Structure 1
């Protein structure tokens, strides 16, 4: 069977286990608990441990020891996570009834009295959230392929919504078109911003309103899949651009181009940022 982007490769699983166990060595840990949606998705190569999308901590925790790895959750969540999120990744499930609320207790039992680390506050555990973040900074080759695919899909969804936008539509109506396109591709829109006309320059984060489009509208999406998020913006203008708006658009494009041109393997992030700042001048 041909491997899809939803399937974790042996190389990616091995690479992430190695990074985590190196972290455990550096922090003197015997077990590590990963409960945030971002870290769970990273370690499981794109798996989801959330039910509601507006949460940072999921309903399941990945626990890694020196020689094994576990998923700790309640009996309600276990079947779906096993069947759809961590297939063939070698996890052993440790569950309890949903009403017992024993997840932290089970995690400490897995640690067996040894040093326990966690990416969230937990009794008798060392918070190593910053160290876990550092593990995620360098993308694997599989993650790069997923990012490319997600970026293309997000761009296409924005383009479709832009073509649907018309003068007289409300920002809420345009937001619904954008979200419909994104959700239809199995992507979660974690942020959707829409601004018409003067709201574009007035607010940095314009939550959609009943404001109607006259001449111009901005669409923004932060789209999540496999634990990765692509942020993209598109602008639509009805009728000829004013000279002032054209100058502003070209200036922004130059700054964006400076960021893109400077982003190369081995480049220092600070240098890339400073190069873009210089472009503003």
Structure 2
């Protein structure tokens, strides 16, 4: 396994991403001759197709527009109270936009048209999003680097007397300041290190702090976990932190182009007992999976269908009591390219790849 720099661009690097994406959608539609058109209605699919447009108002809310694509044209159906702003600030140029009264359904009036919904083609849309294109990958690299730098800044300013909520506020504010949306902000001080999803509280940091961030910008989501410690760890804690990195190294070795999700998940499950954790440790928390326009796209289970493809982003998060490691990375034919990297954060080579260790100021 090797750590790579930016992957070489594919042959269509000079073609705008959305032209390639349109072709991918039309191939899906061609496979369903019974349908006249397909529609995109989810935030992830719309942001993917519309070059990272912000398609919701509340974070996690319903999109304010839908895309209808038939065999010859494409139309954006947008709520009338949002259309002017979306055209001026969010949507790519050259799209046909139809304003729909805010009091009606976005696809009202489509009676008589045989439309493929996202639910009918969910797996095909996920596959269409999987292999990142040059322009979206350039944006993604910048987002991942910015988030990694923010995590370093926030934890670098933390102190034992800080509250978990204070660290969370600094992180969330930093994400907004860099033009993003904070989707997940978790903080665990020393007293709450055992929680797998530590929503921040008024607890003091004490001897250590763990920060988990998922941030969205231009529709794409970066994910990472970092930890700082203010006192020497016990031998048990230090040993567990090293062993979880060895578990992750096994998972990274298993993540290769062409391997099925089931094959990789089997390797994940067997990595825990191979490095001294309980055989059922994988059952106590999700393990991660492909990422990009969803935090996990999809979150892998022992039965998830699909295979890894070239230029697919992923984020594993192996975890055991009190320990976790997580970064966003890119899969290429040649190896793993970790994207959430800040050169200021200390690392050590594990399985041939520099991995983040606990920061000790």
TM-score interval w.r.t. the shorter chain? 0.7 to 0.9
Give the number of aligned pairs: 260
1:1-281 matches, within 5 Å, as 10-28=15-33, 29-55=35-61, 57-88=62-93, 90-99=94-103, 101-106=104-109, 108=110, 113-119=112-118, 127-201=120-194, 203-280=195-272, 281=274
The TM-score normalised by the length of structure 1 is 0.85
Q: Distance in 1 between matches of 2:142 and 2:254?
A: 22
- Normalising by structure 2, we get a TM-score of 0.67
Tell me, in whole angstroms, the C-alpha distance in 2 between the residues paired with 1:220 and 1:163: 15
Measured in 1, the distance between the counterparts of 2:254 and 2:220 equals 22
| 8 Å Cα contact 1:164/1:177 also seen in 2 | no
Name the CA distance, whole Å, in 1 between partners of 2:55 and 2:22.
18
Moved more, 264-273 or 209-218: 264-273
Shift of 1:10: 4.4
The SS at the match of 2:132 is coil
Which fold has the larger relative contact order, with Cα–Cα distance below 8 Å and residues 6 or more apart in sequence?
A: 2
Q: How far does residue 129 in structure 1 lie from its aligned partner after superposition?
A: 2.9
User: What RMSD in Å do the two structures reach over aligned CA positions?
Assistant: 2.1
Looking at secondary structure, tell me which structure has more helix per residue. Answer: 1
Unaligned 5+ runs, structure 2: 1-13, 275-361
The CA deviation at 1:278 is 3.8
Distance 1:74 1:63, change over 3 A: same
Unaligned runs of 5+ in 1: 1-8, 121-126
Q: Which position in structure 2 is the counterpart of 1:3?
A: none
